[in-house]
Chain A
């Protein structure tokens, strides 16, 4: 079956530091890949996505590249801000399944200190 593995958190960084959150996946077929973000007290929001190999998703300074050869979709940001403190979820959608559901990783909490 499908699965998503994320690095465990929390990840604690100082403002303006470089961020990497690792994500690898196992899936049948050719999934689409996503990063969702959950700010404190809120629901999840789509941050970025990539639908095929070598695609790069980007939004709000965050980037992730769909690497089929390493089955990875690592999230990066060059300079984090305190407002980026949140929980980040990597997820995949397998177009071949009838459930039309996403498979989520366990989430990585990011804490950015001023």
Chain B
């Protein structure tokens, strides 16, 4: 019963460093997405993918890259970390038919601190 798995759960970076947040799901979901959660602002969509080889930007894409080479994996890359990217990041997935009904399945989150 793995569901959506995110790694790492915690990470501290220095400004300018790069890193990748990993997300994997074992439910054969077509749709995957990344959100960031900031105090008082709810969750905001960073990038999303509707299938392998297809990605698109969300509400706050600047500073982040994604790729979707397999159905299972959807990594989020920070090429040059900035303090403004300090946040909690959530990966979420769903079957395409569930996406418009809001039934997203979330990982446990990755807390990133950029010094």
Q: Given the interface contacts A4-B42, A104-B42, does A44 sit within 8 Å of B90 by beta carbon?
A: yes
Interface size on A, as a range, is 20 to 34
Contact of A43 among B31, B33, B59, B108 (CB under 8 A): B108
Contact of B45 among A4, A95, A101 (CB under 8 A): A101
Q: Given the interface contacts A43-B106, A43-B108, does A105 sit within 8 Å of B45 by beta carbon?
A: no
Q: Given the interface contacts A32-B100, A93-B100, does A101 sit within 8 Å of B48 by beta carbon?
A: yes
Segment 92-111 of A: residues with Cβ below 8 Å from B: 92-93, 95, 99-102, 104-107
Q: Are B108 and A42 touching (Cβ within 8 A)?
A: yes
Name the residue in B43, B45, B99 with the highest tally of chain A Cβ atoms < 10 Å from its Cβ: B43
Q: Does B4 contact A (CB under 8 A)?
A: yes
Interface string of B36-52 (1 = CB under 8 A from A): 00001111110010100
Cα(A93)–Cα(B35), bound, Å: 15
Q: Are A95 and B48 touching (Cβ within 8 A)?
A: no
Q: Does B84 contact A (CB under 8 A)?
A: no
Segment 41-77 of B: residues with Cβ below 8 Å from A: 41-45, 48, 50, 56, 58-59
Segment 65-115 of B: residues with Cβ below 8 Å from A: 90, 92, 96, 99-104, 106-109
**List of B residues within 8 angstroms of A32 by Cβ:** 100-102
Chain A-chain B contacts (Cβ-Cβ < 8 Å), number: 65
Q: Are A91 and B107 touching (Cβ within 8 A)?
A: no
Q: Does A66 contact B (CB under 8 A)?
A: no
Question: Which B residues are closer than 8 A to A by beta carbons?
Answer: 4, 31, 33, 35, 40-45, 48, 50, 56, 58-59, 90, 92, 96, 99-104, 106-109
Question: Which A residues are closer than 8 A to B by beta carbons?
Answer: 4, 32, 34, 41-46, 49, 51, 89, 91-93, 95, 99-102, 104-107
Given contacts A32-B102, A43-B109, A45-B106, 20 further A-B contacts (CB under 8 A): A4-B42, A43-B108, A44-B43, A44-B104, A46-B103, A49-B101, A49-B103, A93-B100, A93-B102, A99-B45, A99-B56, A100-B48, A100-B50, A100-B96, A100-B99, A100-B100, A102-B43, A102-B102, A102-B104, A104-B44
